Chains A and B, each alone.
Chain A
Amino acid sequence: MAKSKSRRPPRIGDAPVFRNTMIAVVLTLVALVIIAPLAVIGYEAFSRGIAYFGKTIANSDTRHAILMTALTALIAVPINTAFGVAAAWAITKFDFPGRRLLLIVIEIPFSVSPIVAGVAYLFVYGLQGLFGETLQSADIKILFALPGIVLASMFVTAPFVARELIPLMQAQGRDLEEAATSLGASGWRTFFFVTLPNIKWALLYGVILCNSRVMGEFGAVSVVSGNIRGQTNTLPLHIELLYHDYNAVGAFAAASILAALAVVTLIAKVALERRGAGRVRRPSLAGTAPDISETTP
């Protein structure tokens, strides 16, 4: 029956013209919007040769910027991970007034422009701000220093981990925890031996996304860091500075580090999904528990 008319597409919406046009449009857009700029970064960074590239990277200001970015990530990511797990746990396992509100509030950083967050921090911790004088008299420096950068980065990336975990933990319900507790397990044991193994891939995925966003954050950090070369400059800010200095090669070289970081993130993500996918067949309980693979899109 299906072969009676050869010109008829095998399925609705599967006509060759439509299909080929669709694929062509998507591929062109990907090439223009994503591939081309990345290729330019790589090309420009090495346009004056490997030696010049190495010299640019070895520049003390650039090295310091890399260090600042790494340090920020090292502080902000673990804190946000802990926050994300706690928030997801609270929202999915407990009933309390304001639960829905919390769900919305957690998502705010996604919809607010990062620069708004930066300015807000300026108002809270700045000299003319809410706690400005208290902080100054106590000689605590938050703005134009590492704490401000970390805080701004944390604000921007607060939802990442929680958002990966909430749908999964909601689907899993409380049965597993109740079962573990009824068998005599303590709260910590239940978390580490029952809850965590079932959310670990989603958690890692959230952490990786959070990390790459922390390292790449520009808007909020640019307001609170003060852009002091060799002191409070993070890598993204440093790239902008180099560019304004008409040091295009330097800017591209520094940018290539961030791009390389993105590639590493991507590889880690794919590897993780593959590893996760390998084990997904074990955890999924058809019909009763959700398939874990749904959480690592």
Chain B
Amino acid sequence: MKIRLDTVVKTFDTFRAVHGVSLDIESGELVALLGPSGSGKTTILRMVAGLEFPDGGAIYFGDENATDIEVRHRGVGFVFQHYALFPHMTVGENIAFGMKVSKTKRSGSEISERVAHLLRLVQLEGLEDRFPAQISGGQRQRVALARALAVDPKVLLLDEPFGALDANVRRDLRRWLRKIHDELGITTLFVTHDQAEALDLADRVVILDKGRIVQTGTPEEVCRAPASAFVMNFLGDANRLKVTVSDEKAQIHNVTFEAPDIADGPAELYFRPADVTWREDGHGIQATIARVIDRPDSRRVLALTVDGQSIEFDAAPEFPFRAETRGFVDIRRPRVYPA
């Protein structure tokens, strides 16, 4: 099912949570809504689900305007951040609930057959009679997914699906969810504040800031060509240096970088800590090492430029230099954004 958001607006009291967001999600696509807290990502997801209604704009499911359809008739599967499993029902009863209340009548044997099928799908065979309190967090997450899938939703919506789990469980579940999605081919939209999760899982990432979409693209597109300083910063560690642009060239301490389409005047130069080479031959921005931090697979070097701006970069574990050493920072893949 294709989903289309058309200039959707949502205001809570006086706080505008979502400013005119438009977004197309293709049928069968797995899309991540990525942003810091307060960026409106959960509000957008809840509006797609029908748990909140937009103040303006429209939401289409296929060609149908779904904006005013109530959540119970909208045909979405929603997985809550804290799973919201019914604590007084067993795992099997939880999964069967949607089928029991559904308008499409199913016989008892049909329901239990489907419950068994879904339990196999989420790899929880044999846990049918346990209560939610008796299973682990990762298992609850999978029950919540099975429960949402039980009603044959047109769209699957997940709110911070792995937020409450350990790092290891998280990574396994991520890969597993991707597999399930590829098997079922159901249009899926999920919310996360974790860029690694979004990049790992999604076909397309929608990055939000303060209720607006700041960039949409495949993980490759957003990683290789961040549209703004915000995206650059949000997707990972980034260094920022103040530079001056004139004639589409950014300059800092006699080093120049290409700055296409940037207006003259002060601007900011961004680069990743991994995109730095420490040199002693005068090629690059002059700097002094302030501190060296050891990590299991590398060394993180903290350095200061001549005018006191700090730079962090990664070096091999064999990096020989220590504090007070002077040298030059050679930057690969620099990006210049307006200040």
CB pair A283–B131 under 8 Å, yes or no, is yes
Q: Which of A239-297 contact B (CB under 8 A)?
A: 279, 281-289
Stretch in B79-87, B199-207, B272-280 touching the partner: B79-87
| Interface residue tally on A, bucketed by range | 20 to 34
Determine which of A179, A197, A282 lies in contact with B84 in the assembled complex, contact meaning CB atoms within 8 Å: A179
Residue of A nearest to B85 (CB): A285
Q: Which of the residues B51, B98, B131 comes within 8 Å of A183, measured between beta carbons? A: B98
| Minimal beta-carbon separation of A48 from chain B (angstroms) | 52
Q: How far is the CA of A132 from the CA of B329 in the complex (A)?
A: 93
Residue from A182, A281, A286 in contact with B76 in the complex, judged by beta carbons closer than 8 Å: A182
Q: Are A183 and B147 in contact (CB under 8 A)?
A: yes
B257 interface residue per 8 A CB criterion: no
Decide if A183 touches B151 in the complex (CB within 8 Å).
yes
A112 CB to closest chain B CB (Å) equals 34
How many angstroms between the C-alpha atoms of A215 and B88 in the bound complex? Answer: 33
The residues of B that contact A185 with a CB separation of less than 8 Å are 72, 97-98, 101
How many whole Å from A97's CB to the nearest CB in chain B? 11
Would A285 and B78 be within 8 Å (CB), given that A176-B86, A179-B86, A183-B147 are in contact? no
Q: Could you tell me if A283 and B88 are in contact, using CB atoms closer than 8 angstroms?
A: yes
- Asked if A184 contacts B82 (CB within 8 A), the reply is no
Contact in complex: A182, B133 (CB < 8 Å)? no
B residues in contact with A281, CB < 8 Å: 133
B88 near A198 (CB under 8 angstroms)? yes
A residues near B82, Cβ cutoff 8 Å: 175, 288
Chain B residues within 8 Å of A288, by CB: 82-83, 164
For B238, list chain A residues within 8 Å (CB): none
A180 at the interface (CB under 8 A from B): yes
Complex interface residues of chain A between 177 and 204 (CB less than 8 A to chain B): 178-186, 189, 193-194, 197-198
Complex CA distance for A189 and B49, rounded to whole angstroms: 20
Q: Which residues of A contact B87 (CB under 8 A)?
A: 198, 282-285, 289
B168 to chain A, nearest CB (A): 18
Smallest Cβ-Cβ distance to A183: which chain B residue? B98
Is B241 at the interface (CB under 8 A from chain A)?
no
Q: How far is the CA of A288 from the CA of B97 in the complex (A)?
A: 20
C-alpha gap A193/B147 in the complex (Å): 16
CB proximity of A284 to chain B, nearest CB, Å: 5
**What are 12 A-to-B residue pairs whose CB atoms are below 8 Å?**
A178-B71, A178-B80, A181-B71, A182-B78, A183-B98, A184-B102, A184-B103, A185-B72, A198-B87, A283-B87, A283-B133, A284-B133
Residues of chain A touching chain B, judged by Cβ–Cβ distance below 8 Å, are 175-176, 178-186, 189, 193-194, 197-198, 279, 281-289
